Amino acid sequence: MATIDFNAEVEKRKDALMEDLFTLLRINSAEDKAHANAENPFGPGPRQALDAFLAIAKRDGYETKNYDNYAGHFVYENGAKEDAETLAIIGHLDVVPAGAGWDSNPFEPEIRQGNLYARGASDDKGPTMACYYGLKILKELNVPLSKKIRFIVGTNEETGWADMDYYFDHCELPLPEFGFSPDAEFPIINGEKGNITEYLHFVGKNDGEVILNSFTAGLAENMVPESATAVITGAKDLKGQLDQFISEYADKNLRYDLEENGDKATITLHGRAAHGAMPEKGINGATYLALFLNRYNFGGGAAAYLRIASEILLEDHEGEKLGVAYVDDLMGNTSMNAGVWTYDEATEGTIALNFRFPQGNSPERMQEILKAIDGVDDVTLSEHLHTPHYVPMEDPLVSTLIDVYEKHTGLKGYETIIGGGTFGRLLKRGVAYGAMFEGEPDSMHQANEMKPVENIFKAAVIYAEAIYELTK
């Protein structure tokens, strides 16, 4: 077959790619538990995004299958033998909540100064659509294949992976032999740390000089909380104390909102959101609000809650003060994000600690250490556990993807192990591949999430040739 000019093929399809991408980006596909039901397992938004994607695939001539609105797929064979291996491409259509601080409507995509702004532009609708168009090129050119291709999309990647649990439990096809997820960065992610959330539980009752009525923070366990809100009773001179606190931590660019009604006050402290796999890139509004409140005389569970938050969890991104720190020569360190916070004086308080841990560390080890912290009433584990995952550089999947990356960027490829979790780890020989390029700002899970438009097209070129090289 004649050499394919993948750059030229993407050029022909730029407008169509962006039109399809905008269709997906206009759907708020964050999990909505309040409106979840049998027809919408994660809420209406994720289901609408799945419907839209499968409609695009059906339009392009694929025979699609929807697995009860959890996930969907289509298979493309074009000459591959019945017993041929299957390459899986696994993306996701759900997003994290938009949160505050946007300069534009997060679900009305805008292109400004060459950048596409929208929730999901970078994680993961933009990369998924770039990869879809990479395959679309091969289909429209009628390229014969030696391997089958199964394109899978999920709707619950950000909050639990129940979509993929359901998909692989109900899919009638065998597990693909190898594959990649377009949900990270180039040149490749061939190793991923384990992922577990451990919940610290505290007694709700408190009867100190100042009462903590409630404390809330965090939109998702894998996000650094941008803001936190506490309702307290009995504190004096709050405005003066807050002004002094903000001044003391001027380098953190904190700001606050204060409402007072008699002796009861509501305080909201704002920091900066970031991806939970890289907590050091954010300013955790919850830990800094706890640091401020810890100057007052609380009692009972509230005193322990605020003391542990401010003296141990504050800026403890690797779990050193917690005592759970662990470093592996290959996979690196353990990271910790205190992602979701609740406290109710009538019931209890919880802090969800999301850990990304290397081989050698374990959820059980960390749980025992956390249980021993003075003031913690109990420690429980989330149902969702991902163990550490690694595919060696010499694997043909990895070496082929690296070669294609090097060809189209002129840069040297190298292996990368991350704390983030991608659908690549669902396969024994699975990796993540793009679509964030070296030097590209990382805005995933943050306000004003964006993707440079030219990088979407560049990724499509790389995906097209990568799929071609793996299946030709």
Contact 110, 116 (CB under 8 A): yes
346-364 mean pLDDT: 97
Q: Which of 9, 20, 31, 94 is catalytic?
A: 94
What would the two tokens of residue 469 be? 């090289």
Cα 430 to the center of its chain, rounded Å? 18
What integer is the mean pLDDT of 255-266?
97
The rounded distance, in Å, linking the Cα atoms of 267 and 259 is 7
For residue 300, the SS3 value is helix
What letter would DSSP give residue 310? Answer: I
Question: Where are the domain boundaries for CATH 3.40.630.10 in the chain?
Answer: 6-193+388-471
Segment 47-76, tens digit of pLDDT: 999 999 999 999 999 999 999 999 999 999
- State the Cα–Cα distance between residues 66 and 166, nearest whole angstrom: 12
Which pLDDT band, with edges at 50, 70 and 90, does 419 fall under?
confident
Annotate 240-258 with b (16+ C-beta within 10 A) or e (fewer): eebeebbeeeeeeebebee
Q: How far is CA 151 from CA 133, 135, 168, 180, 405, in A?
A: 12, 9, 13, 10, 21
Q: Which two tokens stand for residue 59?
A: 């339009």
Q: Could you confirm whether domain 196-381 is CATH 3.30.70.360?
A: yes
Residue 421 is predicted with a pLDDT of: 82
What number is the average pLDDT over the span 458-464?
98
pLDDT band at 439 (very low <50, low <70, confident <90, very high): very high
Catalytic residue among 9, 157, 158, 318: 157
User: Is 9 designated active site?
Assistant: no
Q: Where are the alpha helices (DSSP H) in 271-330?
A: 285-293, 300-308
Radius of gyration (C-alpha) of the chain in whole angstroms: 24
* pLDDT tens by residue, 33-55: 999 999 999 999 999 999 999 99
> Could you give the residue range(s) of every CATH 3.30.70.360 domain in the chain?
196-381
Question: For residues 102 and 359, what is the distance between their CA atoms, to the nearest angstrom?
Answer: 38
Residue 345 known to be catalytic: no
Please answer whether residues 187 and 402 qualify as being in contact, where contact means their C-beta atoms are separated by less than 8 angstroms.
yes
Average pLDDT rounded to a whole number, residues 261-272: 97
Q: How far apart are CA 386 and CA 425, in angstroms?
A: 9
Which tens digits make up the pLDDT trace of 217-253? 999 999 999 999 999 999 999 999 999 999 999 999 9
Q: How far apart are CA 23 and CA 16, in angstroms?
A: 11
**Interval 295-321: pLDDT, tens:** 999 999 999 999 999 999 999 999 999
Domain 6-193+388-471 belongs to what architecture? 3-Layer(aba) Sandwich (3.40)
Residue 1: is its pLDDT beyond 70? no
**Average pLDDT, integer, range 378-401:** 95
User: Contact, 180 vs 431, CB < 8 A?
Assistant: yes
Average pLDDT, the chain: 97
